[in-house]
Amino acid sequence: MCRRGSLCHNTSLGALASSAVTVTAALFDFGGVILSSPFDAFARYELDHDLPVDFIRSVNATSPDTNAWARLERNEVDLDGFASAFEGESDALGHRVPGWDVLGLLAGDIRPEMVEAVRRCGARLKTALLTNNVTGMQVNPAMAEIIALFDVVVESSVVGVRKPDAEFYAIACTRLDIEPNQAVFLDDLGVNLKPARAMGMQTIKVGDPAIAIAELEAIVGFALG
Residue 86's closest CA among 62, 67, 105?
A: 67
pTM across the whole model: 0.85
Confidence of residue 21 (pLDDT cuts 50, 70, 90): confident
**Strand 126-131, strand 25-28: pairing:** parallel
Write down the domain spans for the chain.
11-36+109-220, 38-103
- Could you count the other beta carbons within 10 Å of the beta carbon of residue 223? 9
CATH number among 1.20.5, 1.10.10, 1.10.150, 3.30.70, domain 38-103? 1.10.150
H helices present in the chain, as ranges:
11-18, 38-48, 55-61, 68-73, 79-92, 99-103, 112-124, 141-147, 156-159, 166-176, 190-199, 209-220
Which superfamily does CATH assign the domain made up of 11-36+109-220 to? Answer: HAD superfamily/HAD-like (3.40.50.1000)
Give me the mean pLDDT over the 62-70 stretch.
96
With contact defined as beta carbons under 8 Å apart, do 166 and 195 qualify?
Answer: yes
% of residues, the chain, pLDDT over 90: 87
> pLDDT, tens digit, for every residue of 67-106?
999 999 999 999 999 999 999 999 999 999 999 999 999 8
Cβ 7 vs Cβ 198: under 8 Å: yes
- The DSSP result for 145-162, as a single string, is HHHTT-SEEEEHHHHS--
Q: Note the pLDDT tens digit of each residue in 96-136.
A: 999 999 999 988 899 999 999 999 999 999 999 999 999 87
Residue 12 has pLDDT above 60, yes or no: no
Residues 26, 183 contacting (CB under 8 angstroms): yes
- 3 burial type by CB count under 10 A (0-12 exposed, 13-18 middle, 19+ buried): exposed
pLDDT at position 20 is 60
